[in-house]
Amino acid sequence: MNNQTCPDWAEALLNGFSQIFLQRHPLCGLLCLLAILIGAPALLGGALLGGVAGLLTAQRRGYPKAERQSGLYSYNGVLLGLLISQHFAWSALLPPLILACGGLSAILTRQWLKHATQPDDLPAYTAPFVGLGWLLMGTVPESTFALTEPDTLSVLVAPFTGLAQIMLLDQPVAGALIALGLSIANRRAALWALIGASAGVLIALLLDEPASALLGLHSYNPALAALALSQARRQPWLPLLGILLAIILTPGFAALHLPALTAPFILACWLVRASGRMFKARVDSRFESP
């Protein structure tokens, strides 16, 4: 989307917000920004600072303009700004920490893009965010939630809460804004995201974990996996497999006392893509063999 009325830097920054959901669409990014403003206004400054840090680092280091404008160097910084603002008390050291992490995430993303030049190579996704997030947070104690008796309304809005949790928010209104942004950018992607989030809610309820189900904690990774793998049209089994793997992998991080963040989504997508690449190579070798 090329909007002549939007300055290059603003478009790049808004695309950074939309790239969290694997889209390049400034209006989608604007709605994601609005979701933060409504869902957790105290985190908005950190999100903007992280995104700007990634963008400025990319500009100063001369990274390709097309990649900068697509938001590829901003979205990990946005997520890191959200995470740092949420988990650390405000101090004079907080803005420099966000700037440093946002800039470092852009450098890591560039290194990944330089080496992942083939269509079958594994994408970085949110790996810089996860890696730096683990360094910042370390191990976390096992979470416990008060038992919650789900009602019909809370179950119906839980998938939207799951979408909001991708940006560390817990308000279904924020998730609805994100869903609207996705619908504007790509209706098919929006549908798959809601399918993934709904599957996470259903599995959590079946596992008798109503509180985490209603908070969307089992939903955001399968939603992201569905978003990423739905880009391969006419292959609906790919996002379905990604959803299943993301759900299966999530409890393992709690067992390791690591915050899951978006790691289950990344691993699920890498496994699906790597398996597809191995299958393709095996088929090609059979056809080539005499």
Domain 8-116+124-137 and domain 152-280, same fold? Reply is yes
Long-range contacts of 109-114 (CB under 8 A, 24+ apart): 109/54, 109/72, 109/73, 109/76, 110/58, 110/61, 110/63, 110/73, 113/67, 113/72
Whether 2 contacts 57, CB under 8 Å: no
Q: Which residue has the tokens 């933060």?
A: 36
Provide the 3-class DSSP secondary structure of residue 213.
Answer: helix
Rounded to whole angstroms, how far apart are CA atoms 157 and 214? 8
Structure tokens at 127: 């790996």
pTM: 0.92
CATH homologous superfamily of 152-280:
Ammonium transporter AmtB like domains (1.10.3430.10)
- Structural domain spans, the chain: 8-116+124-137, 152-280
Residue 99 is inside which H or E element, if any?
helix 94-115
Residue 211, judged by CB atoms within 10 A of its CB (0-12, 13-18, 19+), counts as middle
The single-letter DSSP state of residue 42 is G
Residues in contact with 95: Cβ distance below 8 Å, sequence separation at least 6, in sequence order = 49
Rounded to whole angstroms, how far apart are CA atoms 227 and 265? 10
Q: Could you list the pLDDT tens digit for every one of the 290 residues in the chain?
A: 455 566 788 999 999 999 999 999 999 999 999 999 999 999 999 999 999 999 999 999 999 999 999 999 999 999 999 999 999 998 999 999 999 999 999 999 999 999 988 888 899 999 999 999 999 998 666 565 555 677 889 999 999 999 999 999 999 999 999 999 999 999 999 999 999 999 999 999 999 999 889 999 999 999 999 999 998 777 889 999 999 999 999 999 988 989 999 999 999 999 999 998 786 666 555 555 55
**Statement: 8-116+124-137 belongs to CATH 3.40.50.1820:** no
Neighbours of 149 (CB within 10 A): 8
Nearest by Cα to 267 from 253, 282, 280, 281: 253
